[in-house]
Amino acid sequence: MITKKQILWLIALAIITVMVSVACKKKPTDTGNYMSVTEAGQTPAPEFPSNNPIGKLTIDTNQGLIQFNGLSFRSGAYYMNGNYTRKIYYYADVKVDSDSKPYVSAITKSEDGEIIEDEGKFYDYANGKGAVYNLEGIRYQSNNRITAEVTFTEDGYLVIRFSNYGLDITYSLTTEIIDSKSELEGTWKSGNHVIEIDSKGNITLNCPLGNNHNYHYSYTGKIDNDFDYPYAVKMYAMQGGERKVGTITFNNSSSATGSFYYYRNNIWDISSWSFSKVE
C-alpha cells in the first residue's frame, strides 16, 4: 500500500525532473561566445577633428543615433581570454546602411591589424534619443543576437557594454581613418583559383591553367576604402578584344563567392566558386 508520504515524495521527484529538463533546454548565455577581457593600458585621449575647436561632442537630446553618423572611436589596449601575450583593440564607427538606418559597427583587431572579431552591426530598435542607446545585433561570428548598451559623452568618449562581455569597453573619439579594405588584404583560394588583394585594395584573379583552357588572362578589380558586408566588387578581363565581367562578393572578412566567365572547351562559360581567405 502506498502511503501519503510516498505519494508526496513521488510528486516532488516529478517536479524536480521537469525543472531540470527545462533548465537543460534553456540556453540564456552561449558560453562559447562569452569573452573575458582585461584592460592592458589607458584609454587614449579623444581626438577631435580640426573643425571642432571647442573639443566637445555635441549631443542633441531630441535626435537619435544618426546624429553621430561618421564618428569613429577606438579603445585602449585589452587582453582577451587570459592571453597576455597579445594586445587587442576595439573599434566602433557610427554608420548608416542602404535603408538610411543608423547603426554602430563594432570590430576587434590585434595590435598588428589582424581581425579578432568580425564586424558586428548594432541597431537601435528602441528608437532612442540623446546620449544613451540600447542596441541589438550579432557579434563574434555568432548567430545569437546580443545587446549593447551604448553611451556617448560630451568629452569625446564612448562606453559600450556588450551582453557577452564582463565589463564596459571605453572608446575615445579618433580621427584615424580605418579602411575596411585592410580586412580583405591577402590571398584567397577556391581550389586552384587564387585571388590576391594588396594593401591598396587591388584585386587580381589569374584564371587557372589547365588542358581545357585555351586562353590565359586575368581579372582585376578595386576595393573601396569603406563598405558594408555583403560587399560585391566588379572585376574585368580583356580577352581577344572582348571585355568580360565577373563579380566577387565578400560575405565577411574570411569568406567570399565569385562568379566569372572563362574560356574552356572552345566556349565561354560561367562558373561560381566559394573563396576562403588563407591565414
> DSSP letter string over 37-102?
EEE-SPPPPP---TT-TT------TT--GGGGTT-EEEE--EEETTEEEEEEEEEEEEEE-TTS-E
* Domain shared by 259 and 127, yes or no: no
Which range has the top average pLDDT, 13-27, 118-132, 217-231, 240-254?
A: 118-132
Length of the chain: 279
Q: Is the pLDDT of residue 32 over 60?
A: no
* Domain shared by 157 and 184, yes or no: no
Query: For residue range 169-206, what is the model confidence (pLDDT) as tens digits?
Result: 999 998 765 556 677 888 998 888 889 988 778 899 87
* Domain shared by 237 and 207, yes or no: yes
**Checking DSSP bridges between strand 186-190 and strand 169-174, what pairing results, if any?**
unpaired
* Domain shared by 209 and 104, yes or no: no
> Domain for residue 16, yes or no?
no
Q: What average pLDDT does this structure show over 215-230?
A: 76
* Domain shared by 92 and 157, yes or no: yes
What pLDDT shows up at residue 15?
58
* Domain shared by 169 and 203, yes or no: no
* Domain shared by 50 and 106, yes or no: yes
* Domain shared by 108 and 125, yes or no: yes
Q: In this predicted model, which residue has the larger pLDDT, 193 or 125?
A: 125
* Structural domain containing residue 251: 180-277
> Domain for residue 8, yes or no?
no
Closest Cα partner for 248 from 238, 237, 239? 237
* Domain shared by 130 and 193, yes or no: no
What pLDDT shows up at residue 79?
84
Q: Which helix (H) or strand (E) holds 194?
A: strand 193-197
What pLDDT shows up at residue 214?
47
Residue 212: pLDDT band by 50, 70, 90 thresholds? Answer: very low
* pLDDT > 90 in the chain, percent: 21
CA distance 266 to 48: 60
The pTM (predicted TM-score) of the whole model is 0.56
> Domain for residue 4, yes or no?
no
CATH number of the domain encompassing residue 209: 2.40.160
Residue 139: pLDDT band by 50, 70, 90 thresholds? Answer: low
CA distance 258 to 129: 41
Q: What average pLDDT does this structure show over 85-103?
A: 86
* Domain shared by 199 and 89, yes or no: no
* Domain shared by 168 and 215, yes or no: no
* Domain shared by 41 and 128, yes or no: yes
Total domain count, the chain: 2
> Domain for residue 39, yes or no?
yes
What pLDDT shows up at residue 171?
93
Q: What average pLDDT does this structure show over 76-99?
A: 84
Three-state DSSP at 125 gives coil
Q: In this predicted model, which residue has the larger pLDDT, 161 or 82?
A: 161
CA distance 34 to 110: 18
